[in-house]
Amino acid sequence: TLQQLREKLFNIDGKGYKAYKNIAGQYQGENFKLYIDYVQGDPFASPSRVRLCVAQQTALFPVDSYSTRIRNTALTDFLNRQAVKAIEKSAKGSRGTGKSGMIAVDKPGQQILSRTAVAINNDFVELRASIGLPARGRRVLGKQAAAMFLDELPQIIDNCLLYNSLPQHSLWEHIYSVEDQEHLRASLADKGLVAFVGNGSILPRKSGVSDRPLSIDKAVSFKSPALLEITLELPHAGKVTGMGFTNGVTLITGGGYHGKSTLLQAIQKGIYNHIPGDGREKVVSLPSAVKIRAEDGRRVERVDISPFINNLPYGLNTKNFSSEDASGSTSQAANIMEALEIQSELLLLDEDTSATNFMIRDVRMQQLVTKNKEPITPFIDKVRLLVNQLEVSTVLVVGGSGDYLDVADTVIMMDEYYPLDVTRTAKDIAARIKTGRNDEGGTVFGSIPSRIVDAKSINPQKGKKRKISARGVTSLQFGVYTIDLSQVEQLVDISQTQAIGDIIVYMSKNYLNGTTLAKALERVYQDIERYGLDIISPFYGQHPGDYALPRLYEVAAAINRLRSLRIRG
Ligand code: ADP
Ligand code: MG
């Protein structure tokens, strides 16, 4: 029982820190069970890991608050946020050296992601927390530790794991909002849409470093042009009206600073569900949407980029292109081909982050630099083949080249943050003023890569230890390598980055044997769907660590950027 833990802690008071090691184990509290799964080695080391588990007979969550996958994600996210608040309220904080006194759980941001921080099922609800066992210098502070376990933790539990003590109105609002967003996203394909932006949405963010909404008094809320307006039905909120982005090629144009990139960025994040009040609760896009950008300097390992790049100097082979330091255009080509390899159905491009020579090649350049001297087939000449042959749509921001008017199905012009449908005018202009370009795209798009990874080339060992550690959202230490994810724009949470590392290992252990990368990833995600995200943890069955679910596209992006990666062939 917890009383026994208390006695243990009193007994080791004043002893060396290592004495904490024997408190590992499980203890029965009044209304919860405490599992101390891991005890840290010293007050500065990564904190101890505990689970707080309340039986459903006590927690009393109604079955329909967690019974479907999406409700489970929504509810556990809500409880996670409550836990953050409860800890702020009840934990005393620092109680000595290093991390002494700390109580922490994973902290969600604007997106609602499936996480390991809270688990709920018919039997129990469980919070996975980190604790800094208190010490002065390296001496155990047993009484303080007892206060953390016997006073603070029970209070925290009372404030976040018991259904009847929670703000039920906001709990259900949270669940319904997520369910609506999921439904909206799932209904896109049937309606022939690739994205939807609801009227009234707030797209701009507070700043380049904050994902919170720009305040209402500064933001222009979204309003669809009448011609593109569509009304959809949601299970809870009823009718929602907004702009539908249809299959095909959508061009977002308009003057500089009129909100083009902001709209595209909202669509980029439309793969995620957002918390109520975020402003993007009615912005959704196809789950497989991938932002494509130039990324010079990245590594590329044996990718077929021949649909876009051919006849490089020195006869470099582009059906099997590798580079330790790719150029703007070759990196952008590789990013597209890698997205197609794992079946993305929607590419998102912005001129701000694209290589100009990858996007356009106008008639004068076609005459000056003849086709046999230019390795690049520009995107403009492949974008229709993507739609017509592969059913891959594109939404792209181009303010600087009218050549794209020829290939767009829909042209939107941003005008002081309001989108206008200018498709008719654009088509008239395109008919009146011919570009005179030659289409260099040929009659077929070209082949899509299907690569088999050499499992040995994926190794998280560093010396004798396995080292997988997210250094931030955009940097993942993997063995002796650091994977740079700073250009992988749809990654949003450090716990996703951490999960990517362990998913890569899980995949290479279980599924890489001779299967293609795409197939192996698919299998991993089937496992996660079936057994939960805990399955990727080396500590499965205990506190698994703090993970949030990334998409397989971001996992693939990390693999593709790992500098030790070898592709078989
Ligand atoms: P563009 O890509 O057309 O040059 P941006 O999307 O980068 O323009 O937007 C320019 C600025 O306007 C940014 O600071 C952005 O936050 C702000 N902004 C974008 N959309 C809105 C909006 N709907 N309301 C208020 N400010 C906005
Ligand atoms: Mg821009």
d(CA 288, CA 340): 10
Boundary residue ending a domain (166, 186, 214): 166
Nearest residue (CA) to ligand 1, atom 11: 257
Burial of 249 (0-12, 13-18, 19+ CB in 10 A): buried
Averaged over 226-231, what is the pLDDT? 97
Which pLDDT tens digit goes with each residue over 170-186? 999 999 999 999 999 99
| 513: pLDDT strictly greater than 90 | no
Point out the ligand nearest to the CA of residue 266: 1
d(CA 454, CA 477): 20
Ligand 1 atom having least distance to the Cα of 222: 23
Point out the ligand nearest to the CA of residue 210: 1
Q: Average pLDDT over the chain, rounded to whole?
A: 96
% the chain with pLDDT above 70: 100
Averaged over 496-514, what is the pLDDT? 95
What residue numbers bound the domain in which 122 lies?
A: 2-166
Domain count, the chain: 2
314 confidence band (pLDDT: 50, 70, 90):
confident
pLDDT value of residue 228: 97
| 16: pLDDT strictly greater than 90 | yes
Q: How far is the CA of 353 from the centre of ligand 2 (A)?
A: 9
Q: Phi, psi (5° rounding) for residue 397?
A: -95, 115
Averaged over 64-90, what is the pLDDT? 97
Q: How far is the CA of 260 from the centre of ligand 1 (A)?
A: 7
Q: How many CA atoms lie within 13 A of 209 on its CB side?
A: 0
pLDDT value of residue 178: 98
Give which of 275, 274, 269 is closest to 287, Cα–Cα: 269
Ligand 1 atom having least distance to the Cα of 205: 16
Please tell me whether residue 28 adopts helix, strand or coil conformation: strand
pLDDT value of residue 312: 87
pLDDT value of residue 311: 85
Point out the ligand nearest to the CA of residue 414: 1
Give which of 166, 163, 175 is closest to 70, Cα–Cα: 175
- Tell me if 144 is assigned to some domain: yes
Cα 144 to Cα 51, 135, 530, distances in angstroms = 19, 9, 41
Averaged over 420-443, what is the pLDDT? 97
- Tell me if 341 is assigned to some domain: no
**ipTM greater than cut 0.95:** yes
Q: Can you name the residues that pair with 303 across neighbouring β-strands? A: 321
Lowest pLDDT segment from 174-178, 181-185, 313-317, 525-529: 313-317
- Tell me if 476 is assigned to some domain: yes
| 96: pLDDT strictly greater than 90 | no
Nearest residue (CA) to ligand 1, atom 4: 257
- Tell me if 515 is assigned to some domain: yes
- Tell me if 520 is assigned to some domain: yes
Ligand 1 environment, Cβ below 6 A: 203-204, 214, 218-220, 254, 256-262, 414, 417
| 475: pLDDT strictly greater than 90 | yes
| 433: pLDDT strictly greater than 90 | yes
503 confidence band (pLDDT: 50, 70, 90):
very high
514 confidence band (pLDDT: 50, 70, 90):
confident
Q: How far is the CA of 365 from the centre of ligand 2 (A)?
A: 25
Nearest residue (CA) to ligand 1, atom 27: 204
Q: How far is the CA of 309 from the centre of ligand 2 (A)?
A: 26
436 confidence band (pLDDT: 50, 70, 90):
very high
566 confidence band (pLDDT: 50, 70, 90):
very high
489 confidence band (pLDDT: 50, 70, 90):
very high
Ligand 1 atom having least distance to the Cα of 221: 23
Which secondary-structure segment (H or E) carries 144?
A: helix 142-147
Give which of 67, 84, 158 is closest to 120, Cα–Cα: 67
| 313: pLDDT strictly greater than 90 | no
- Tell me if 110 is assigned to some domain: yes
Which pLDDT tens digit goes with each residue over 357-388? 999 999 999 999 999 999 999 999 999 999 99
Q: How far is the CA of 266 from the centre of ligand 1 (A)?
A: 11
pLDDT value of residue 569: 80
Boundary residue ending a domain (104, 135, 166): 166
- Tell me if 463 is assigned to some domain: yes
| 493: pLDDT strictly greater than 90 | yes
Averaged over 446-460, what is the pLDDT? 95
Boundary residue ending a domain (166, 188, 218): 166
Give which of 94, 112, 65, 73 is closest to 275, Cα–Cα: 112
Q: How far is the CA of 14 from the centre of ligand 1 (A)?
A: 58
Q: Can you name the residues that pair with 300 across neighbouring β-strands? A: 323
Averaged over 113-131, what is the pLDDT? 98
Point out the ligand nearest to the CA of residue 353: 2
Please tell me whether residue 176 adopts helix, strand or coil conformation: helix
- Tell me if 137 is assigned to some domain: yes
